[in-house]
Amino acid sequence: MYLTDEEKSILDGQHGVGNMKAMELLVALGKAFDAEKLIPISRAHVALSGQEGDTYWCELLVDGGAKCKVSPTTNPSWDVENLTKFYDVTEEERKLGERTIDVYRRIGAKLTFCCAPGLGTNVPFLGEHIAFSESSATPYVNSVLGARSNRESSVSALAAAVIGKTPYYGFHIDENRAGDFLIDVDAEMGDPYDWGILGYAVGKIAGTRIPVIRFKNLTKNPRPEDFLYFGAEAATSGSVAMYHFVGITPEARTIEDAFKGKKVPPFEALIDQAALDKHEAAISVGETGIINLVMLGCPHYTFDQIKEVDEMMGGRKVHEDTAFWILSSIDTLVLAERSGIRQRLEKLGVRIVADTCIDEPCWKSFEGGLGVTDSPKCAYYRERRGQPFVVRRLCQCVEAAINGRVK
């Protein structure tokens, strides 16, 4: 791998330990993927998590004198000040939350605390070279916006932000963005939930390959939330970081375009309504009965989604033994408040919280009980913390909240 004299001197430790560690990781990745060189990036997004492994790495860099050359936006941790009014955490957990915020401040990050940067807080344009971590954000910026990012880990995205560069391999190179195989989809696509199920089905087939998806009888084009849910699930059931929707996404104006001059293969799979129904049934298995929590916003809910919850609630109150939280970004929260929706929902027992992820210690008082969510990704990651979640469509989540139980 070619390194400039300056890059070599960083690797040799002449610019401090923090810069050296960051460069070591970039070079290790570059070598693993046969990158010829490093290239400058113009944006970064770090999947900060408030988890020890990640905070440890950021401290290692900043305490070694590193600062971000490209200020990255960040994923959520949890709103320590607000949520500790509602829920108990240990002193250790609170300290880790505060330590995380402090260390990312010191390294020079832009603390957006939102896991859907491509929808508002950090929007790259077509062809821009960037380093985005967060498994649901990477497919969005690559596929929907046409920017160029590899499937970065939180640690490699931070290293790239510190150095201002990333190894030149994978999705940064034109020919690697071509589709690998074709899937036909013939199904009714409604709300983001349907797109999430489709993403789940596609991820299972794709693994690490780039799927090209050809829709038959699609009645309306997907909205940003639909793309986001599709990518989030495709990156959970598989490792999809790039996909093409024929005639819809910018690098797939035609099917030939999507395969970038390679021969268009016959379709490998057809996903029809029956296949999606089967996946929905598989995703929604689990307990039924009394619930203690309804949690929406994995990935973070947009204004339109919060508005939809408000409409579905129709003035009805959440069951007194059930908590109902919507996770969102700070700008969406402010917008919901300014528009009067936040106050209206709060009176009904639906609370909106910004800066917060589903996978944080602030939610542990619900563990042992049953939760409901519209996000398979949420259910998947909550499993480790000991709270089973059942996955339902948004309208069923709302009904479950009102009844205090899920069918």
Partner 1 sequence: MDKDFKVYKCRCIVKGSCSGEAIVSKDPMCFYLCDPKTGIVIERNHAIHGKSIAGKILVLKSGKGSSVVQVDGFYQLKAQNTLPAAIIIRDTEPVIVSAAVVTGTTMVDRMDTDPFEAICDGDYVEVDADAEEVHVRRNK
Residues at the contact surface with partner 1, assessed by CB under 8 A: 24-25, 28-29, 31-33, 47-49, 51-54, 56-57, 75, 133-135, 138, 150-157, 170, 207-208, 235-236, 238-239, 359, 380-381, 383-384
Q: How far is the CB of 200 from partner 1 (least distance, A)?
A: 13
User: Is there a contact between 326 and 356 (Cβ–Cβ < 8 Å)?
Assistant: no
Task: Compute the least distance from the CB of residue 2 to partner 1, in Å.
Answer: 19
Other Cβ atoms closer than 10 A to 157: 29
Which of 45, 55, 57, 76 lies closest to 18 in space, CA to CA? Answer: 57
DSSP secondary structure of 253-308? SSHHHHTTTSPPPPPSEEEEHHHHHHHHHHHT-S--EE-SEEEEEEEEEPHHHHHH
Question: What whole-number distance in Å separates Cα of residue 208 and Cα of residue 269?
Answer: 16
Nearest approach in angstroms of CB 95 to partner 1 is 17
Q: Which is nearer to partner 1, 56 or 86 (CB)?
A: 56
The nearest distance, CB 279 to partner 1, in angstroms, is: 13
Q: Which is nearer to partner 1, 51 or 339 (CB)?
A: 51
Nearest distance from C-beta of residue 208 to partner 1, angstroms: 6
Cβ closest to partner 1, residue 176 vs residue 403: 176
Token code pair at residue 315: 């003035």
User: Shortest Cβ distance from residue 350 to partner 1 (Å)?
Assistant: 27
Residue 137 or 326 having the CB closest to partner 1: 137
Give one DSSP letter per residue of 71-117, joined into a string: --EE--B--HHHHTTTS---HHHHHHHHHHHHHHHHHT-B----S-G
Judged by DSSP in three states, 34 sits in: coil
Instruction: Using the minimum distance from each CB to partner 1, give the nearer residue, 239 or 365.
Output: 239
Q: Which is closer to partner 1, CB of 214 or CB of 382?
A: 382
Minimum CB separation of residue 257 from partner 1 in Å reads 26
As a whole number of angstroms, the distance between CA 403 and CA 317 comes to 9
Look at the block and give the residue holding tokens 């960051």: 22
CA distances from 42 to 23, 30, 163 (A): 17, 18, 11
Q: Nearest approach, Cβ of 25 to partner 1 (angstroms)?
A: 5
Q: In the complex with partner 1, which residue's Cβ is closer, 52 or 188?
A: 52
DSSP string of 316-376, one letter each residue = PPPPTT-EEEEEE-HHHHHHHHHTTHHHHHHHHTEEEEESB-SSSGGGGGGBTB-EEES-H
CA distance 253 to 244: 9
Which is closer to partner 1, CB of 70 or CB of 155? 155
CA distance 406 to 398: 10
